[in-house]
Structure 1
């Protein structure tokens, strides 16, 4: 009898037996009719499935509603098909490429042929999508043979789908249909279109088929959908807020960085304010690293190509690297990674087990070729500095070292008030994407999972997201308006010690291989600063603000007292300026507010007479008059504790 039952494990750990072949919808209905009504799909193990998918084996199960990531993935995947159905009705000659869900919404790549498609057509497509959604068309799945799939799309003269099908295995090909629209797809999808209530097509872009610039450029339509109009309205408000926080806009206004065509696209120039910001961040991490036993190193910006051949970065990442240059009848290239240089430093001397772990850290600048259309302010550049470190340890030290790195990374992000989600990124079955022995991979993946479990981390596993030399722990932060950004990583590497023949002499007097941990909490300084600007909307914590204090005089008569105050703050290490210009104090306050300076100190006859300062806090206004020394102690404590700005603390 037990052979006819399956055991399903729910997120709270509860287990329940069901008849084999039960569907996800029926499982949801067994819990409550309300859950069944709101269910969008199920996740069995690590795979998202349709609600009508029969369950044939014991597994873990999640019922996915709109409030889950997998539920939104399903919703937006189905919405991409709805977009394509609307395009098919309005533009019958259009040919479809790919249409995946993305982190926020979906897109579809479409060849409109001789038809023109622009912003003017967007509203018409949105209306058609809502009209089709109301038809309550079911998403039905059917298996097709490879030949049947090829014949179907050859008849439609769709070379893009034919190209995709050529790479698929016969017996694993499925079509989905809703209404009159049929698409090559493996799913998952909603039960029907009726839950899609609100639609916004957000952007048009060009996209080369399969990313090949020699292929035809298709029209990529981005969109997002919701089960309620209210949710779309809230989303659009967040988008508006994000535009106000755009680091490209604020970066210019606050004097953080600039781009210059003579220097080249994707190569930011750090302006004085930005340099203060960056150096302060570096100092913060450097101090933490010293406390935790790291040694800092410096490596050059170029190296012989053979170094990167040895590591596997060249030609593995050839398309994202700058071309080699000829030097003295040899080939050199701009450094794409710091790690091969660190491996050479490690192997510079014979290492004993007593020395391990060796922790080498560097703020090292690297260079990657990004296509011009992918460049975006400081968040996507061609030259950037990583807060790189590589830890060389014995195997029995590995788990403790991973824990130390996780603690450091969590400390860094908590300092900025950034909640963290954790993902364990594993390899998939495509052996061509990865280096090294599969036995090492299995071992490393097992170890990072053990660490995550021992530290009681809340994590998700993502297959296919690993680096080419090892699995990793990815830290995904959420900013002040709820957006997610992947930043820090911790990677376990058994591959590079083999490639670089790295060794240490063990207690048995024999040579052994160390294990390497790659880590970078910030990731890249450029990208992290771009996120930080948007996270704080330019209102940086006092310890981080490029200019911390501005002293404003009521008139020029009080310039001397203002300068005396300024010297006291400077002696205490503060970044302070005096504005003694002959203009009204109201105008000075407005200028300081616009520059997002945390504190404005106003001095006049009363302040000079009493040895006080009248204090205004950015965005808060007047907070009172303080004796100079008392206020100095107050801001010292604010810097020492790295307190968040008052407005940010309430979020």
Structure 2
């Protein structure tokens, strides 16, 4: 007999074999119609999978209201998309078709490449497949039979994957809907009709088989799907808004940064206006660091491989680093992948006492990672980037206060930029993974410490996420939602009991008992990568930066040449007060000057004419609110000073709708 416990605590017993669908139908016809999959003891299964005939299980029926269901829908829609492509094109070779944060994709190899012009035909065929109400049928077969089946289908990539990637599996699963059959683990919705009409092909990209540039090149067809058509429309609207805010486009238009093929892919050249934004952020952070007791240090851009072997960066992440530089004497050097080993050696440069701790070392240090060319993206995915990095060496008793201080600084930085929509993610280790260094009891202590601080500060989110830790310790990441709903992982605080240990660098301080003790190490970066952070800011503000951060804060606009001399006086006065100013003294009409300044997203315009020169006034024009009228020059100066001092962030009404999640790989270890 099988005993089934439902989420409400009720129990049902069965003496014959049943499926989750049978149980849903027994509960009610409405639930049977709404259910799309099930969860048994925490593991997802298809709705028509036979349950055990004996024992006890916990059963949860999934409907479109459950967040897990969306990925099931999208994975099923990926199969429908592949089926449509195969109906329309001959000789299609299938690769993989997983879900992403915002939809799904499928990689194909075709005789004739797809283009955007093929989208309407593919979508039309997908609609026909949905209307055919084809059932998703799972079949499990022995590995040898699975191999023979893929050979018979002529699917070369699947054959290779069974022979290599799945070589240890004794049996494999396939899913069939109509004439389409694909090697797949699942899970899937009951039939194609559950997909409905809320799906859309979004883009095409190049890809390599299994991500290896030496392997065959494929076409990656991206798409998305939702249960509700309005959610799809909201998402597509936000995609258009994201295109409008693309930092690669705005960065060029506003002359903020450039990338030169001759310099190298993924290497950012900061143009003067972009450098102002970066320098302003750095000055703000340096002021905060001084107030919080940090000491500035500088370290070289390369180091011996031995250093990174001790830290673990080289053996653990050698695939993400540039090849070592071989010297004539046999020594090997590496472009610096992370600042922390260098700061550790600064700590070790002299004996330390408990009276010296905490030691807080800060550096805007440039590091290098070898990203695949296909993964590079403007400023948000680069090969060289500067971190607003700092490392704190403290006693065990000081950990809570130091972590709290790091979190408070990150919160202040985010507030100064109007980024008040955020959550924190507690990155814990995955106990089943071998990528983490150190003893489990040390990890338990570190994880408990950061969780306690996050709870005491009542930070939003703070749910532990196994597998998100750095290889040397747990961390608190700030995941910020921008004004159009996308999530970006920005600031981070990481607690480390491993790098200072005798197994690594053997750091010490002499305690009050006159005995050596190991310090605890905290890694923190409120912004993370300066390149990535500024790229995010460009898109968050759509290039319209707040006054305190804008490259050009205000512009003098003269009504005519008769007021040019007065305009120069006002410009000089504001410059002496520390404002970044220019003047437009051309003989063009005032309306044209205003439009140009608006297009360049200048926060304020100071219009001056003959009457202003006589009265000592300026007519202040706000980029957001428009004409604010004439006022004494001192009043205008005080208004702008106050806005800069308070780091006021004023934005046009924010977009709403479905959230877009940033999928880029984080610049971190």
Q: Give the TM-score of the pair, scaled to structure 1.
A: 0.89
Partner of 1:156: 153
Q: Hey, what does 2:661 align to over in structure 1?
A: none
Contact 1:366/1:385 (<8 A) preserved: yes
Counterpart in 2 of 1:611? 616
Map 1:348-359 to 2 at 5 A.
348-359=349-360
**Which structure 2 residues correspond to residues 328-347 of structure 1 after superposition, within 5 A?**
329=329, 330-347=331-348
Which residue of the partner structure matches residue 664 of structure 2?
none
**Unaligned runs of at least 5 residues, structure 1:** 9-14
Q: How does 1:196-595 map to 2 (within 5 A)?
A: 196=195, 197-327=197-327, 329=329, 330-418=331-419, 419-428=421-430, 431-456=433-458, 457-498=460-501, 499-595=504-600
Structure 2's unaligned 5+ residue stretches are 657-669
CA distance in 2, matches of 1:443, 1:287: 33
Partner Cα distance (1:36, 1:641) in 2? 57
Pair 1:74-2:67 in alignment: no
- Does structure 2 conserve the Cα–Cα contact (< 8 Å) formed by 1:362 and 1:388? yes
Q: 1:261 to 1:649 in 2, by over 3 A?
A: closer
Q: Give the Cα separation in 2 of the matches to 1:300 and 1:322.
A: 16
Q: Which residue of 1 aligns with 2:94?
A: 96
Quote the residue 1:133 is aligned against. Answer: 130
Question: How far apart in 2 are the matches of 1:347 and 1:359?
Answer: 13
Q: Is the 8 A contact 1:539 1:645 kept in 2?
A: no
Give 1:621's aligned residue.
626
1:545/1:106 Cα in 2 relative to 1: closer, same or farther (>3 Å)? Answer: same
Say whether residues 1:634 and 2:657 are aligned partners: no
1-structure distance, mates of 2:37, 2:462: 21
Structure 2: how far apart are the matches of 1:39 and 1:425? 33
Following superposition, the deviation at residue 102 of structure 1 comes to 0.6
Query: Distance between the aligned counterparts of 2:215 and 2:654, measured in 1?
Result: 50
Give 1:429 deviation, angstroms. Answer: 5.6
CA distance in 2, matches of 1:553, 1:206: 51
Change in Cα spacing, 1:590 to 1:125, as seen in structure 2 (3 Å) is same
Q: 2:484·2:654 contact (CA, 8 Å) conserved in 1?
A: no
Deviation of residue 63 (structure 1)?
Answer: 5.4
The answer as to whether partners of 2:387 and 2:527 remain within 8 angstroms in 1 is: yes
1: CA distance between counterparts of 2:632 and 2:452?
Answer: 55
After alignment, is 537-546 or 369-378 more displaced? 369-378
RMSD of the TM alignment (CA)? 3.2
Tell me the equivalent position of 2:666. none
Following TM superposition, by how much is the alpha carbon of 1:537 offset from its aligned partner in structure 2, in angstroms?
0.7
Please state whether the residue corresponding to 2:499 is helix, strand or coil: helix
Task: Quote how far apart the aligned CAs of 1:479 are.
Answer: 1.2
- 2:121 maps to 124
* Secondary structure of 2:643's aligned partner: helix
1:622-650 Cα distance to aligned partner (Å, 9 max, x none): 12222111122211111122111242579
Residue 211 of structure 1 and its aligned partner are, at CA, apart by 1.4
Shift, 1:38, TM fit: 5.5
Alignment partners' CA distance in 1, 2:216 and 2:161: 15
Question: Does the aligned pair in 1 maintain the 2:3–2:57 contact within 8 Å?
Answer: no
- 167-176 or 532-541, which deviates more: 167-176
Aligned partner of residue 356 in structure 2, secondary structure: coil
Contact 2:209 2:216 in 1 (8 A): yes
Match of 1:106 in 2: 104
Structure 1 residue 244: deviation in Å?
A: 1.5
Compared with structure 1, are the counterparts of its residues 62 and 288 closer, same or farther at alpha carbon in structure 2 (3 Å cutoff)? farther
Q: Please report how far the alpha carbon of residue 441 of structure 1 lies from its aligned counterpart in structure 2 after TM superposition.
A: 3.4
Bigger RCO of structures 1 and 2 (CA < 8 A, at least 6 apart): 2
CA distance in 1, matches of 2:614, 2:27: 74
Report how far residue 611 of structure 1 moved: 1.5
TM-superposition CA deviations, 1:538-566 (whole Å, max 9, x none):
11101110110101111222222222222
Bigger mean CA deviation after superposition, 362-371 or 235-244: 235-244
Conserved? CA contact 2:35–2:61, under 8 Å: no
What is the CA–CA distance in structure 1 between the aligned matches of 2:285 and 2:263, rounded to whole Å? 29
- Name the residue aligned to 1:11: none
CA gap of 1:346–1:57, structure 2 versus 1, over 3 A, is: farther
